């Protein structure tokens, strides 16, 4: 059998294991270990890998940014920042038709700037905003749908754990990936707000009413969001310096990992000063960060073994050569990959999708001619992949964010959540089409700053 055939068989067996509820990390690790054994004809090579791969993966300096951003998000969650963000957004937008739902989107975007996790954003903002929206007469479908969609902003608005992993896998600049995600993230938030505005005008009775808040109160509530603004601004400016990341030297205040540490410390200090981050809350934040980090690192380790198997078969390179040799239009290949992400999103989480597909898809994308430099192609594709992964999180029937929101509103039938989120999925698909057609939207800010 050829290397591609062996890789396809291994990939199929791994997917079968995932469908049979084998943990994704275990499925990838076993497939990688057995695959290398089969290709090499002896267990010695994969056993030798286990001696070094474990340490190399878990001691990686690049991956140290992950637990620090997770800790920042945990501190932000337990320090009451989400409530302040929603209150400010609600005071400014709540009196408009569908305004409280729009406020939920704005608050999700703001919280995503200090969280980096879609599931955490959806869960936290769901607990804050869902009772308020239902109390003000918003339909269960709209309330849960907008919060499930808004939660996806947690992985699109930088800092984003998924973008960090993508940058490490493809050897791209983490800061440039963060900068490239800003405009698509803003477009996502605006698109969701526009969707709310259309929804409440088409579906009668979907939105309740709220009183107009005096401007004095609006500015007071806005002032309470200063911790989020300060942390986001300091972390982003600190890791970019004078925007010349090719020569980080003294102009950059700190590296991305140090920036994550600064953000975590600031979020923690704010929680301590406000009294929200009690001893029990602090210990819970540490424990939840450790659990999430262990899960992510185990998945990364499994992906490393699986990637070693793919490298041994040379399947990604051979597939890239085959695709380019067939003369397919680059956009056709790209759209096929994005559709594959939508399908995978129905059965697995975003991190697993990225770790599983990037080693296969990335060499193919790099071999295609989109009229961009290799770095521009890598950044553009990374943002597109992130967005489509985000769509998978809210695509019925298995989108992870849908279940998170349904756990918050346990008395709401899942069918209503499915109906409510459908317009937001359509909004995402329109945004993907725009960004595919016009790569400059994603790349413009990076070109200006670097």
pLDDT digits (tens, 9 = 90+) for 390-432: 888 888 776 778 888 888 887 888 888 899 999 999 999 999 9
User: pLDDT tens across 67-123, in order?
Assistant: 888 888 888 888 878 888 888 998 898 888 889 999 999 999 998 888 877 878 888
Question: What's residue 189's pLDDT?
Answer: 93
User: pLDDT tens across 324-351, in order?
Assistant: 777 788 899 999 889 888 877 766 777 8
Distance from C-alpha of 227 to C-alpha of 384, rounded to nearest angstrom: 30
pLDDT at position 246 over 60:
no
**Neighbour-count burial of 377, counting CB atoms closer than 10 A to its CB (0-12 exposed, 13-18 middle, 19+ buried):** buried
- Distance set, CA 217 to CA 81, 91, 223 (Å): 18, 8, 10
Q: Who contacts 27 (Cβ-Cβ below 8 Å, separation ≥6)?
A: 14, 17, 18, 302
pLDDT at position 366 over 80:
yes
Task: Tell whether omega for the bond before 397 is within 30 degrees of 0, i.e. cis.
Answer: yes
Could you give the number of structural domains in the chain?
1
User: pLDDT tens across 130-163, in order?
Assistant: 888 888 889 999 999 999 999 888 888 888 888 8
- Distance set, CA 265 to CA 63, 157, 160, 225 (Å): 18, 20, 18, 17
Question: What's residue 429's pLDDT?
Answer: 92
Distance from C-alpha of 373 to C-alpha of 381, rounded to nearest angstrom: 12
Question: What's residue 126's pLDDT?
Answer: 87
pLDDT at position 24 over 50:
yes
pLDDT at position 316 over 70:
yes
Stated pTM of the model: 0.86
Question: What's residue 241's pLDDT?
Answer: 63
Kindly state the average pLDDT of the residues 262-287: 90
Structural domain boundaries enclosing 307: 3-449
Residue of 293, 60, 288, 65 whose CA lies nearest to 159: 65
Report residue 243's pLDDT band, with 50, 70 and 90 as the boundaries. very low
Q: Which range has the worst mean pLDDT, 34-38, 141-145, 341-345, 359-363?
A: 341-345
């Amino acid at each position: 059998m050829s290397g591609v055939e062996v890789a396809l068989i291994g990939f199929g067996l791994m997917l079968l294991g995932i469908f049979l509820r084998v943990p994704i990390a275990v499925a990838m690790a076993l497939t990688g270990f057995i695959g290398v054994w089969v290709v090499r004809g002896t267990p010695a090579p994969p056993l030798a890998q286990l001696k070094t791969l474990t340490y190399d993966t878990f001691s990686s300096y690049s991956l140290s940014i992950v637990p620090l951003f997770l800790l920042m998000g945990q501190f932000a969650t337990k320090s009451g920042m989400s409530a302040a963000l929603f209150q400010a957004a609600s005071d400014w937008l709540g009196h408009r038709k569908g305004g409280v739902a729009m406020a939920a989107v704005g608050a999700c975007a703001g919280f995503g700037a200090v969280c980096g996790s879609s599931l955490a954003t959806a869960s936290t903002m769901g607990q804050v905003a869902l009772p308020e929206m239902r109390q003000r007469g918003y339909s269960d479908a709209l309330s849960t749908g907008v919060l499930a969609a808004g939660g996806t902003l947690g992985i699109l608005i930088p800092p984003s754990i998924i973008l960090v992993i993508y940058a490490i896998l493809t050897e791209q600049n983490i800061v440039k990936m963060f900068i490239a995600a800003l405009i698509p993230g803003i477009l996502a938030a605006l698109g969701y707000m526009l969707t709310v505005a259309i929804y409440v005008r088409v579906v009668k009775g979907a939105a309740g009413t709220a009183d107009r808040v005096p401007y004095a109160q609006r500015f007071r509530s806005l002032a309470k969001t200063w911790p989020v603004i300060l942390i986001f601004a300091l972390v982003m400016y600190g890791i970019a310096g004078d925007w010349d990341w090719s020569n980080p030297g003294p102009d950059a205040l700190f590296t991305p990992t140090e920036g994550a540490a600064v953000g975590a410390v600031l979020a923690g200090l704010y929680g301590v000063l406000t009294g929200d981050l009690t001893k029990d809350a602090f210990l819970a934040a540490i424990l939840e960060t450790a659990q999430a980090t262990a899960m992510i690192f185990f998945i990364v380790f499994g992906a490393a073994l699986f990637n070693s198997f793919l490298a041994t078969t040379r399947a990604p390179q051979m597939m890239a050569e085959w695709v380019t040799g067939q003369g397919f239009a680059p956009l056709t290949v790209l759209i096929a990959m994005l559709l594959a992400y939508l399908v995978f999103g129905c059965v697995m989480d975003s991190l697993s999708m990225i770790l599983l597909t990037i080693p296969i898809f990335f060499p193919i994308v790099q071999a295609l001619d989109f009229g961009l430099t290799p770095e521009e192609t890598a950044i553009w594709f990374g943002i597109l992949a992130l967005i489509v992964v985000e769509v998978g999180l809210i695509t019925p029937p298995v989108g992870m964010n849908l279940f998170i929101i349904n756990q918050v509103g346990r008395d709401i039938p899942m069918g209503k959540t499915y109906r409510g989120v459908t317009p937001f999925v359509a909004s995402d698909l329109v945004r993907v089409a725009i960004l595919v057609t016009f790569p400059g939207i994603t790349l413009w800010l990076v070109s200006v700053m670097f």
